[in-house]
Amino acid sequence: MGDFIAKSLIQTLHTFSQMVTQFLPRLLAMIIIVVVGWVVAWLAKVILPRILNLVRFNSLFVRAGVAQVLTKAALPNPSELLARLVFWVLWITFILFGLEALQIVALQEEISGLFRILPQIFVALVILFAGVLIANFVSRATLLAAVNANSPSPRLVSTLVRFVIIALTVTMALERVGLGRGVVLIAFSSFFGAIMLGLALAFGLGGRDLARQVLERRFLEEKKEEDQGISHL
Amino acid sequence: MSDETLLSDDFLRQITAAGEVDILVGVPTLNNHDTIARVISAIRVGFVKYFPRDRAALINVDRGSNDGTPEIVKSAAVPDFRAFLASSPLRSMNTLTTTHGAMQGKGGALHVILAAAELLRAKACAIVSPDLESLTPEWIEALTRPIYREGFDFLAPIYQRHRFGGLLVSHILSPLVAAAYGCEIEEPLGGELAFSGRLASHYLSQDVWQLELMRSAPEIWMVTTALVGEYRLCQAFLGPKVHSANPANPDLPVTMQQVVGALFSCLEAHQSYWMNHEGPRTVPSFGFQYDLDLPSIRVNRKRMQNMFLKGVQELASILEPALNPATLEQIREIARIDCEDCRYPDDLWVRTVYEFAGAFHRSVINRDHLLQALTPLYLGRINSFLIENHRSSADGARERIKKLRSEFESLKPYLAERWNAQT
């Protein structure tokens, strides 16, 4: 009996050491691929904008009006944006190759599944891009409006607006790639509802007096002062 | 040539019936129920009193009032002139009315008035604000006589103002026009102005009527276009300008965006002119200027200072691409100083405005956002001006404004530098 247990243990240990011996080189290969990928992607990110600047890549987009759209949304110029895109595409590609090198069947199936939903991923990326554009634009407009209205916490308000728009966009993008469809939607709805409820309670219960003061100052005192104030035009 | 499709059939019929006129006064309206009757009456008395032998017409272009303003204009009775004058008018007075889409803004109404002026072959045209409480018949004479009798092409108003009145005009608009175009116009945004038939045709020939700048501040475009076209300009003193309180008037950031944006857009359209133009050009002024003791005003300086501080602290992401690092650092230093000692010096203010103009031209960020970000800095500068001048007389404040204007003029090369800068 004891012999049998010892034999089994030795057998298991042997199998395990064989698996580790087989797996370690693959893991090492994966790490090397990922690191090399990062270096290649980083080099591309550094070199590409310089090459694009030499060929006046940005001016093409200025003429087409694309650069202005990016500027309005507080995004970098087209060459910088392309360089960032190339960085991520290259690095993600190398990561996928690295995972392939592990030769884990389940993982390989997942990766091939990932390639199948590539069109959806592209649409999701477009949604994300549009969302970031809108979030940047709206949050900056909110910040300006809050500063010019002399509101107490302009940056907080603008960050909150940006966060909500990006959260909504991420939800839509995940919905597009079919990742936990119902769960994502429910999570977002619950999360958004919780924030609103929390804010309502915080402001309603915790800040009743403050709210009254803010409203009075906004609509009564300032009105009175502005009526007697200087004229700008 | 005027665009006749711009004018409705009914309005064209009214123009045909009126024939030709010598003097035309246009009044664009939008919900001016309270003041319009008085304005119409003052214009008519002005015609009869000062131009009894001339053919005159009043044109009202309504932008979609819902308070019965057009009906008031149509039904306004001709005043009993015997109450004002020794004699009756020798000519009949025409009153033409039409409506125009509110979407086109002030520029749309102006376009209609110009088209009508060309068809009526008017020799002198004036535009008058519909919400003026201080309009008298004398204003009609002061506005149109230099054009009609003296051969000038454009007349800008001079108002009698409180020493702290019209600060956006005196701190940005007027000195920037003077520096860039080399011509000292005190009120480049005056709602009351006049121009010749010749200049009206020139305005009509320009392809600008759909531009954003024409919607809210066409007056700036009119002044600068007259300057660029080398037309004969003059100014006339009209007296105090009192508008009725209108809750629909835009607040300061929106005003800043519309008005300063319109001037920056004009600089962009006329850059080949102002880059190569050397001033100064003298503009004759008509009328007897006087000072009145205007009641003192209450100003919430603390709020202005707070908004300045908040703007400098919170808007770094907008100010950094717009301003030179040295300029921004100086502004930040001012923001660190206590309110009572805070001074925003002339040269720094001029550099701020010029750098914003350059940033606007290069579209470093969304232009509307950029212009709104100027508001807190403007309030900081105004606060500094109020601290410096709270005890000074009207003359003293005027001297300070003149000094600021000189600073704008002496730093004009910096405007060109920032305008052409790559970053």
The pLDDT tens digits for B45-57 are 898 888 888 999 9
pLDDT per residue over A211-229, tens digit each?
A: 666 666 655 555 544 545 6
Question: Residue B355, Cβ neighbours under 10 Å: how many?
Answer: 21
pLDDT per residue as tens digits for the range B195-253: 999 999 999 999 888 888 888 889 999 999 999 999 999 999 998 888 777 666 678 89
Which is more confidently placed, B120 or A227?
A: B120
pLDDT at B3 over 70: no
pLDDT of B194 higher than 90: yes
Q: Which residue has the tokens 């407009």?
A: A141
The answer to whether the CB of B407 falls within 8 A of the CB of B346 is yes
Hey, is B197 helix, strand or coil? helix
Mean pLDDT of chain A, nearest integer: 81
CA distance A9 to A1: 12
Contacts of A230 in chain B (CB under 8 A): 162, 164-165, 167, 297, 299, 382, 386
User: Is the predicted pLDDT of residue B323 greater than 90, yes or no?
Assistant: yes
What whole-number distance in Å separates Cα of residue A202 and Cα of residue B290? 58
For position A220, what pLDDT does the model report?
56
Q: Bigger pLDDT: B406 or A61?
A: B406
Measure in Å the smallest separation between the Cα of B133 and chain A Cα atoms: 16
B208: how many CB neighbours lie within 10 A of its CB? 16
CB within 8 Å: B303 and A150: yes
The CA distance from B62 to B96, in Å, is 11
Which residues of chain B neighbour A227 with C-beta distances below 8 Å?
245
The predicted pLDDT at position A227 comes to 43
In the three-class reduction of DSSP (H, G, I as helix; E, B as strand; rest coil), residue A40 is classed as helix
Q: Which two tokens stand for residue B387?
A: 């601290």
Answer for the pair B202, B230: CB distance below 8 angstroms, yes or no: no
Whether the pLDDT of residue B312 is over 90: the answer is yes
Return the percentage of chain B with pLDDT > 70, whole number: 91
Backbone angles phi, psi at B161, to 5 degrees: -120, 160
Q: From the list A140, A229, A231, which residue is nearest B166 (CB)?
A: A231
Q: What is the pLDDT of residue A110?
A: 79
Whether residue A144 and residue B252 make contact (CB cut-off 8 A), yes or no, is no
- Computed over every residue of chain B, the mean pLDDT equals 88
- Chain A interface test: which of B159, B255, B298 (most A C-beta within 10 Å): B298
Question: Which residues of A are less than 8 Å from B373 in CB distance?
Answer: 144
Subunit contact B162:A222, Cβ cutoff 8 A: no
- To probe the interface with B, which of A53, A148, A150 has the most B CB atoms within 10 Å? A148
Structural contact between residues B32 and B69, judged by C-beta atoms closer than 8 angstroms: yes
> With an 8 Å Cβ cutoff, are B382 and A230 in contact?
yes
Q: Is the distance from CB of A120 to CB of A178 less than 8 angstroms?
A: yes
Is the model's pLDDT at B93 over the cut of 90?
Answer: no
* Confidence (pLDDT) at A42: 93
- DSSP tag of B134: S
Q: Interface pTM (ipTM) of the complex?
A: 0.82
Rounded to whole angstroms, the Cα distance separating B53 from B93 reads 11
pLDDT recorded at residue A33: 92
CB-based contact B102:B63 (threshold 8 Å): yes
**DSSP 8-state secondary structure symbol assigned to residue B91:** S
> Which of A71, A155, A222 is the closest to B363 by Cβ?
A71
d(CA B376, CA B306) in angstroms, rounded, equals: 9
Q: What is the pLDDT of residues A177-202, one digit of tens each?
A: 877 667 667 777 777 777 777 777 76
Contacts of A148 in chain B (CB under 8 A): 251-253, 307, 311, 372, 375-376
* Contact state of A148 with B375 under an 8 Å Cβ cutoff: yes
Q: Which residues of B touch A226 (CB under 8 A)?
A: 300
Q: Any residues with CB less than 8 A from the CB of A43 and at least 6 apart, and which?
A: none
- Which of A125-129, A212-216, B273-277 is the least confident region? A212-216
Among A71, A228, A231, beta carbon nearest to B365: A71
Cα A172 from chain centroid? 13
Q: Average pLDDT of B151-170?
A: 90
Q: What average pLDDT does range B280-302 have in this prediction?
A: 79
pLDDT of residue A82: 86
Q: Closest to A144 (Cβ–Cβ): which among B165, B169, B373? A: B373
Q: Do A140 and B366 touch (CB under 8 A)?
A: yes
Residues in chain B within 8 Å Cβ distance of A144: 253, 315, 318, 369, 372-373
Predicted local confidence at residue B139, as pLDDT: 94
Among A32-36, A148-152, B5-9, B213-217, which range has the highest average pLDDT?
A: A32-36
pTM: 0.79
Minimum distance, in Å, between the CA of residue A59 and any CA atom of chain B: 12
- Compute the nearest-CA separation of B369 from chain A (Å): 7
Query: B364 to chain A: which residues are within 8 Å by CB?
Result: 71
Of the two residues A2 and B372, the one the predictor is more confident about is B372
- Residue-by-residue DSSP string for B1-34: ---GGGS-HHHHHHHHHH---SEEEEEEESS-TT
User: What is the residue-wise DSSP string for A54-72?
Assistant: HTTHHHHHHHHTHHHHHHH
Chain B hits for A71, Cβ within 8 Å? 363-366
Instruction: Considering only residues A72 and B64, tell me which one the structure prediction assigns the higher pLDDT.
Output: B64
Mean pLDDT across B360-382: 92
Question: In this predicted structure, what is the pLDDT of residue B79?
Answer: 64
Distance from CA of B308 to the nearest CA of A (A): 9
Confidence tier at A205 by pLDDT (50, 70, 90):
low
Q: What is the pLDDT of residue A203?
A: 66
Residue of A nearest to B366 (CA): A72
Residue B365: which H helix or E strand, with range? none
Concatenated DSSP letters of B38-90 = HHHHHHHHHHHHH-TTS-EEEEEEES--SSSHHHHHHHPPPP-GGGT-SS--S
- Provide, as residue numbers in chain B, all residues whose Cβ is less than 8 Å from the Cβ of A228: 297-299
